Structure 1
Amino acid sequence: MRQDWLGNTVTTSSDATVAGINDFVEGFLAYENKAASILKAVEEEPDSCLANAYAAMFYMFLESKDAPGLARPFIEKAQAAAAGASRREQMTTAIVRAWVDGDVAKTIKLSHQALEEFPRDLAIVKQAQYHHFNLGNCAGMLAVAEQVIDHNADIPYMHGLAAFGYEQCHLLKDAEASAWKAVEMKRKEPWAHHALAHVMITQGRINEGVEFLTDVSKTWVDLNSFMLTHNWWHLSLNYINLGRYQDALRLYDERIWGVWKEYSQDQIGAVSLLMRLELVGADVGNRWQELGTYLKPRVDDFVQPFLTMQYVYGLARAGLPEADQLMQNLRAFSAKTPALTREAWGDVCIVACEGLLAHARGDFETAFRKMTLAIPRILEIGGSHAQRALFHQILLDSTIKTGRYSQAQQMLEAERAYDPNSVPANTALVNVYQNLGLNREAAKAQARISTIN
């Protein structure tokens, strides 16, 4: 028996296997490329239960229809070796097996059970939070962090995990305190940087967000494509709020699109940024067409509603017929989804996709009606508050473009409550107030823009 870097036992006599497992767990928590070392570990010790279970987990994070097939040989090897493994390793194998089989409810249940016995198993904590996140279960994200945090106070990544759970529960003071604690313990803690980015933009601390993210970006080295591109994506949101649209486009070209163009998270980061830029009137050129070529394989790739909604919009804006193929396939898929996610797919995702497709093609009346139905339940499709805000913006844009100015005024002023000087919000308000005959209010909105520019 050996121990990993967190003190958990590992059934092996191989230093190389332990090193690969350590690289995976810390790389997973830190979003570093070294997590891929687990694949070398299973080559060197093909009968390792834990290494194979982690290799299967590694492939499941591809977030594609192909992921279970890639993961299955490894989880089967883990199961074959489980009889000679420790209880923790057996439980890890059962957790990943349930995920590979598509039983996320069982995955979550087993994860919480395992953490009662093995609270230092932070790989299980991280993947449990991931599943809660994808279900829109913000309280579940926080619950799994609070379940084990007292056992992991010495680990900076634990405080980053807690910070994001707090933030998604709108407990911003606690989120910020936890995130800063993580950063104080380890400056290169990109998930804590990410949590702080959420807090700052939610509270309208836009300039502070730009300064902070620009500063800590110096530490974003050897990160996987998701974390690297996503934290730059957060900086781009601040630029958009400041009216710095060309800076946001520059980040798209230089930092956000191009690291791993085939990966789900890189694709939706690109889609959502182009959407946001077009919504504020920026010209994105031919970027949709180039992005669309990488979205074509997603026509029958239904892993998460949140992903699918952005795939369909990107395909439509690229002018590709695959957008309609995706919708046809989605309707067939939604009829056979697991009970846990059936309503999210059938009652929320399909309606939202119909609205998004309509908006992408300029049918703003249909977009308004469909998004009005979807938005009250949009939490169910997963994603973060900042990410889902995009769908609220689609509804807002449709509201304005269908001449519902009184309704749009309410939406925009509610948005301004946390970011009073937002350039996009105030620019839209100038138009809205002029159409409502409220010229003094339009002038005030214009003056607020002038203070930024």
Structure 2
Amino acid sequence: MLHDVCTCAVSLTRPDTLDDWNAMISAFLAHGAETPTHLGKVLEAEPGFAMAHAAKSLFSLMMGRRELVDAARQANADAQGALAAGGATQRERLWCQASDAWVKGSPSAAIARMEEAMALNPADTISMKVSHAIRFILGDNHGMRRSLEAVIGAHGSDHALRGYALGCLAFAQEETGSYDLAERTGIEALEYARDDAWGLHAIAHVYDMTHRPDCGISLIERNTDAWSHCNNFRFHVWWHKALLHLDKGEYAHTLELYDQKIRNEKTDDYRDFSNASSLLMRLELEGVEVGNRWQELAELAETRGTDGCLVFADLHYMLALIGDDRPDAVARLTARVAQDARAETEVGRIMRDPGQSAAEGLAAFGDARYDSAFSHLAAAQPYFQSMGGSHAQRDVFERLTIEAALRAGCLTEARALLSARTRLRGGIGDTFADKRLAFIDTALISGPAVAAQ
């Protein structure tokens, strides 16, 4: 029997198809643009390979797009049909079960099947990556770390994919607050895999969270091999660079990166959209005029606002709608989130907490009803983690909660939120926090008239 680059047995019958399968694995781990091309070649050459259909289904669901749910369902049906023909390995059956579970609304069950595959062979890097990716979508940072720590020992120096495993571990370490360790692990990941965009971005997260913008900018600029080959993940790396320049107060350069790199290709992928909308909102909170840039995003938000696949995406659509002052569209999206929050599904539970309160808070912020905005956002804030994404991505909602508190005159509450945010960052403040704390100190000395401004 043939074995793939993860050292796992596969039911493929042709060495050339195995080459394409291995190329797909490597591209997927590196966030490479050629991932779907390699997967398509495998499906064309050996359509009876059930795991490839399951991979197509799982990858489609990761995109968070309503129209791709149907594609995922079809790929899952193809996987189950191929599975019924027999000949699949246990790992391949687990992948098909994972696909079926997520299509039916249980991403956590899909994670469980991936973990079972990793128990069969801890060196199974692609199962590790899929578990990691779904946990990321669900905001399960501690689960990410436990999962990686359980299998990293099987990815020794002789494992062809060690660098990518280390990159995932570095990100999990960063998301659980082990910043020094994450930096060291991420640097090692790049030594093993020069094209490990995820590992590079894990280190960039460390520098963002620990207020070292110059280190982050230098890291990104001197490691272009790690991310220039990427699919749209390269836009996210540019976004990280923009955040670092924003922290330095270099607003003109931040807008230049927005126009020339982050939003040069105006896709409607929710991840690209979240890069753009969150960056514009951060700029506006610093008093920067962003011109008509909201309009393009708001148009897309109106078309994507019915997706209802991910709370994370919905709340970023809301940023664009309030940014462009579209109250009717804001009301429609708020109502849709409330409707979806009634569903007894995993997505429905996240729509309830934090989705519904967060959506209502953002809508109130857009209307300058800051008392209501702070009330709703503060109710959602303890649950922000469950919307998925990273600390850096969710921070725009932390900033808005703090800003709503300040504009509502709730200075004590704003200070407490700033303190909690700084603790999350290893006790290191940043430019955003320093400016708000200085404002609070001045307002408390000068009295309520300043606090209300």
Is the TM-score greater than 0.5?
A: yes
Which of 248, 267, 277 pairs up with 1:271?
Answer: 277
Structure 2 residues without counterparts, runs of 5 or longer: none
Matched residue, 1:21: 21
Matched residue, 1:55: 56
Matched residue, 2:168: 161
Distance 1:336 1:84, change over 3 A: same
Give the whole-Å Cα distance in 2 for the aligned partners of 1:62 and 1:54: 13
Which of 235, 243, 248 pairs up with 2:249?
Answer: 243
Q: Secondary structure at the match of 1:66?
A: helix
Give the whole-Å Cα distance in 2 for the aligned partners of 1:125 and 1:136: 16
Could you say what the CA RMSD is over the residues aligned between the two structures, in angstroms?
Answer: 2.2
Distance 1:187 1:371, change over 3 A: same
**1:221 partnered with 2:224:** no
Matched residue, 2:47: 46
CA contact (8 A) 1:298 1:326 kept: no
CA contact (8 A) 1:36 1:58 kept: no
CA deviations over 1:329-352 (Å, ceiling 9, x no partner): 2111111141x4544221321001
Matched residue, 2:122: 119
Structure 1 residues without counterparts, runs of 5 or longer: 443-453
CA contact (8 A) 1:406 1:436 kept: no
% identical equivalent positions: 28
CA contact (8 A) 1:240 1:424 kept: no
Q: Give the aligned residue type for 2:20.
A: G
CA contact (8 A) 1:176 1:199 kept: yes
Give the whole-Å Cα distance in 2 for the aligned partners of 1:92 and 1:15: 21
Which of 262, 282, 290 pairs up with 2:296?
Answer: 290
CA contact (8 A) 1:16 1:41 kept: no
**1:6 partnered with 2:6:** yes
Larger CA deviation: 13-22 vs 193-202: 13-22
Q: Give the aligned residue type for 1:12.
A: L
Q: Give the aligned residue type for 1:433.
A: D
Q: Secondary structure at the match of 1:302?
A: coil
Distance 1:430 1:267, change over 3 A: same
CA contact (8 A) 1:296 1:322 kept: yes
Q: CA deviation at 1:410?
A: 4.9
CA deviations over 1:237-288 (Å, ceiling 9, x no partner): 1111110111111111111113361211001111111111111111110010
Larger CA deviation: 289-298 vs 347-356: 289-298
Distance 1:376 1:60, change over 3 A: closer
Distance 1:47 1:218, change over 3 A: closer
Matched residue, 1:330: 337
CA contact (8 A) 2:301 2:320 kept: yes
Q: CA deviation at 1:293?
A: 1.5
CA deviations over 1:207-227 (Å, ceiling 9, x no partner): 2112212222354222010x2
CA contact (8 A) 1:317 1:361 kept: no
CA contact (8 A) 1:125 1:145 kept: yes
Give the whole-Å Cα distance in 2 for the aligned partners of 1:414 and 1:370: 18
**1:108 partnered with 2:125:** no
Matched residue, 1:180: 187
* Equivalent pairs, count: 438
CA deviations over 1:340-398 (Å, ceiling 9, x no partner): 45442213210011001111232222111111111122212222111111111101111
CA contact (8 A) 1:243 1:424 kept: no
Larger CA deviation: 245-254 vs 168-177: 168-177
CA contact (8 A) 2:242 2:257 kept: yes
CA contact (8 A) 2:57 2:99 kept: yes
Normalised TM-score (structure 2): 0.90
Q: Give the aligned residue type for 1:49.
A: A
